[in-house]
Structure 1
Amino acid sequence: MNGPITRDIPLAVPSLWNAEEDDVLICCQVRQETHDVKSFILRPRRPGLVRFLPGQFITLELEIDGETVNRCYTISSPPTRPDTLSITVKRVPGGRVSNWLHDHLSAGMSLRALGPSGEFACALHPAGKYLFLSGGSGITPLMSMSRSFHDLGEDRDVVFVHSARTPADIVFRRELGLLAANQPGFRTAFVCEGRGSEADWASPTGYLDLPLLKRIAPDFAEREVFCCGPAPYMAAVRALLAEGGFDMKRYHEESFSFADTQGEQEGGEGAGSAETGEGDAAGFTVEFTKSGRSVICAPGVKLLDAARAAGLRLPSSCAKGMCGTCKSRLVSGEVDMAHGGGIRQREIDQGFILPCCSTPRSDLVIER
């Protein structure tokens, strides 16, 4: 007796998410990771697959108190789960964006994003052995890399050393234990400043130094190192690796510093001039329409550096062309811009530039 006739029903395959075409992401879940860290799971507004390299970041474009604010966050999820992506954010005392995200972003809300972007990715530096070093919320890109290895069934030789204030501050602590249990080649080590409420904490306390690193990873000199964390942490890591004779060509780091730097940093010597005028043989005249100021920008100098040297307080954050905070409309003139993903192509086509990564090729008029 013949069975029922069945037909294969074709399933629609989602297209790739493209922020240039639709930059809206929907928050579908919020997870409390530690007392001051949350993960926000995001998905495209319309079904779409998110493609990125483990370790890359997205730039959020948020409306806070009537002002557009841009911030970069590394993706903590792996690209092996392409229907969503997640960012993991630590609440920073006084931090405008991190506090807004913790207090306001909830499931069902939407936000705008650029990217993914960035070159901090182990896939770009294949190696037989890796050493992941993270401090605090700097764990996120390294977690994306680790989750990717696990999901792909690649039992890589990875030593993952994470530093935190106390055991209770270790982000993804349980999941890291699971990754280590499932992969013989994946080893974790935690270094906490203090025990906190865990009196029986048996792992090292204090700070990571060269003798401790040698105990955790005696073969660290043979590994490709990826490091992410607060600036003082990464400076300490660079120092201890240099002390240990490590080949720094195999060292890679990622960091974002979004303190309010307006007016706090001066351009380098010769970066620009506070003098006003119609022209100068040593540089280009840059006119800012809203402030009514004009400055001289020396050849090869970034516009942001020249403006700061002249005492102008332009909004900025990363100073690397990644966050988009300094985005401005170029009314006239030409620039060379080498951005890091903080501006959309359609915005460039509309005449916008990022002064932090743009150098003038002619006299300029900027709407700022």
Structure 2
Amino acid sequence: MDESDLRVVAVRECGPDTVAIEFETPPELDAQPGQFVKLTAEVEGDSVSRFYTISSPDVEGTFEITVGYDPDEGGPFSEYLLALAADDRVRMAGPFGSDFYESEPRAVVLAGGPGIGPAVGIAERALAEGNEAAVVYRDDAPVHEERLAALAAAGAAVYVLGADEPLADAVSAVVTGEPGEQLFVYGFETFLDAATDAMAAVGATPDDAKVENFG
């Protein structure tokens, strides 16, 4: 789609060094949780763009992205996003990506670090549609904890692990191998490698998973 002008609705803290930014959805945007958009802004005299995965369960009326930042080494674009307030504007193109939720009967999401954004969006959407959901999330400083607790209370299987904890037991607990089950994996490359090993160990086929590498 062509570039759109987005209006900021709200910026909220959602965990250590992490904010959720809610935008008003432009009329032409049709996106699913797990897809990502490209945001562009003028920063220090240059046009700068970065990609962010949608972390809301849908884009009806508004949609959300989750932005983590390093308070000691944050880049100019992150600082720009952190300074946004309601009614500010930023440009957007997208959506992009083919590894997103498509109403599968059971969504199992393995998320490392920033992968929690699409994980909560997919799980919330699955439950809202009457489907099953499970999340295995690994991070030493978890974010979106309120949403994870709400998912667990609504019937999703939720496992939150430390950054160095093995994935095998949690993955074994959530992967059933039943027809209609879809695995999603979101995170940095080192997490993807660990998730691939864990999936293979329980007899899942890693090539059948929907995977987004965050770098």
TM-score range, shorter chain: 0.7 to 0.9
- AA at the equivalent of 2:204: F
1:171 alignment partner, SS class: coil
* Residue 239 (structure 1) aligned to one of 175, 197, 210: 197
> What runs of 5+ residues in structure 2 fail to find an aligned partner?
none
**Structure 1 alignment gaps of length 5 or more:** 1-18, 194-205, 258-368
User: Does residue 145 of structure 2 align to residue 145 of structure 1?
Assistant: no
Query: How far does the alpha carbon of each residue in 1:160-182 deviate from its partner, in whole angstroms, 9 at most, with x for none?
Result: 111110xxx22211122212222
| Higher RCO structure, 1 or 2 (CA under 8 Å, sep 6+) | 2
- Asked whether 1:61 is paired with 2:40, we answer yes
Task: Map 1:19-168; keep pairs closer than 5 Å.
Answer: 20=2, 23-44=4-25, 48=27, 50-79=29-58, 81-92=59-70, 93-102=73-82, 104-123=83-102, 127-152=104-129, 154=130, 156-165=131-140
Q: How many aligned positions are there?
A: 211
Match of 1:188 among 158, 163, 173: 158
- 1:141 to partner: Cα distance: 1.4
Question: Aligned partner of 2:97: which letter?
Answer: G
2:120 and 2:147 in contact (8 A); partners too: no
For 2:177 and 2:165, the matched residues in 1 are separated by 20
Structure 2 CA distance for partners of 1:211 and 1:148, relative to 1, 3 Å: closer
Displacement of 1:78 in angstroms is: 2.1
Letter in 1 for 2:78: S
Q: Structure 2 vs 1, CA of residues 43 and 238 (structure 1 numbering), >3 Å: closer, same or farther?
A: same
Partners of 1:140 and 1:119 lie apart in 2 by 16
Q: TM-score when scaled to structure 1? A: 0.53
Q: CA deviation at 1:151?
A: 3.4
| Cα drift, residue 239 of structure 1 | 2.2
CA 1:85–1:211: 2 relative to 1, 3 Å: closer
Shift of 1:220: 4.3
Residue type matched to 1:146 in 2?
Answer: A
CA RMSD of aligned residues (A): 2.2
In 2: Cα distance, 1:151 partner to 1:129 partner: 12
The structure in which a higher percent of residues are strand is 2
- Report the TM-score, using the length of structure 2 for normalisation: 0.87
* Largest Rg, 1 or 2: 1
Displacement of 1:189 in angstroms is 1.1
